[in-house]
Structure 1
Amino acid sequence: MTATRPPFVPAVDPPAAADQPAWWFVFHGTDLLVAENDDGTAVVSCLPELTDLGLTGVRRQFLGRFGAAPCWSVELAAGAAAPPGMAFQGLRGLYGRLADDLYAVAGRASQIVAWDRDHQFCGRCGNPTEIASAERARRCPSCGLTAFPRLSPAIIVLIEKCDQILMARGRGFPERFFGIIAGFVEAGETLEEAVRREVREEVGLEIADVRYQGSQPWPFPHALMIGFTARYASGEIQIQESELADAGWFGVDDLPRIPSKLSIARRLVDAWAARHGRTLADA
């Protein structure tokens, strides 16, 4: 879905007055408040104040602007109800229904809401924290510890062997649903080292030609997915049974169920299929 709004510009200093409509990314837990259109698409509210929806938030955070329009994230109390004609919905289900630019800011907003909620008190001394000036941070006035929004970097890699790719089914995945190898980066690792370690741990293979392809914020809850391709070098598949139920090599004509277009995993698979002259159907 395309948008006609100006590009989103992140910022931390809020406007002095609520004298114009603002975009409100309002969360009840991890679900976003949206209004649904007749065609099945969804939209977040653009109003001067949250109270125009009959709501008051536990906390709010200024995110930035679409042109002159401010953007706010809001955390609601546990018992809050959606206004008439609106509903709380999960971000995964809103992919493709919420305009792309709004969806991207919604992902950012969900992470900022969670970070602000979880860092009201200092993790070192336990005293209340305060919002830092001029940066996205909470600082403890007692001991000086500063907490920034958490990001958990994770690698994801598409491994090619001749005209096939390695796909793996995690424990708990639906039947016949496969993804590609992924895992979190450990302290002290380079991204390339993390790619090789995860592949070795999960399927017992050695790889070569590890190449960066792109990245994707993944707000479930606060990962940054960093995508790579690699070439099979040696070894036989030996799955890590605590993580995987199955793994194997698949060609473009015999792929199992694969991730939706929401994920960078699908972007990597689609790019590989395109190099083989195929366009994959939506998952």
Structure 2
Amino acid sequence: MKLQLHQAAARHPAARAGAAPALHGVDLCVDAGEQLAVIGPSGAGKTTLMQLLACALPPSAGRYTLGDVAPWQLSTRALHRLRGQLFLAPQVPPLPPRQRVVTAVLAGRLPALGLLASLRSLFHPADIPAAHAALARFDLEDKLFERVDRLSGGERQRVGLARALLAPARLWLVDEPLSSLDPTRARQALATLVDCARERGVTLVTSLHQVDAALAQFPRIVGLRDGRIAFDLPSAQVTQPLLEQLYAQHEAELHGAPSSVPQDSLMAATAPAPVVMHCR
């Protein structure tokens, strides 16, 4: 599923009326089946961008098209159907604590089910082998019949990602999927997500704080800062100076002080030549 933003602005879902937009003049085009990571400091607007792409909030300015459709020009029913083709995984998965893991994972299929089938699935999981296979991709198959409230934070986060593998979606939007995972689990989960998206031809947009993981797994990186796109480049062209500029503190920039990027989140710079920042 192709998506395109043109001079889009949006406010954070929790922002007060009259607050300044969290995104300003964003131009972004993502082709169907493409995978990209959005990186940037806290408060850059990454979560607002994910909510905008998921049709969870309308742009306050500019234009957003999904495929050949402008979502916010659709009827309520048509917009609901369109949202059924999207999968949004928030940083904290909305998993009922007393629910069994098998039911939580199979909930990824709910957009494709009718009302009666949806209600039936809450009490009688319809495809246990599919849930088991999805969990196995994240090394959670032994948790199939556990209750959600007995899982660790990292396990709950991986259950939320396993849902995507069963969702009838052509666009996966994943917001900070590694925040509760140790480095080994984080690499495994992200590789699984990217591999499954490629296998199915699903468009994948992920926001990440782990810059090294983004550079290692994604062919395209979008740097977001202060609600604007700072660069949009192939991962091989994202240099250390670009990253330092992206994560520089405002005070350091204003006073010309040297900036630094957290070393636990970056790979060593390997690009051989300087590049020109641009937005697509």
Question: Normalising by the residue count of structure 1, what TM-score does the alignment of the two structures yield?
Answer: 0.26
Question: Normalising by the residue count of structure 2, what TM-score does the alignment of the two structures yield?
Answer: 0.27
- Bigger Cα Rg: 1
Structure number with the bigger relative contact order (C-alpha 8 A, sep ≥ 6) is: 2
Q: Which has the higher helix share?
A: 2
Q: Which has the higher strand share?
A: 1
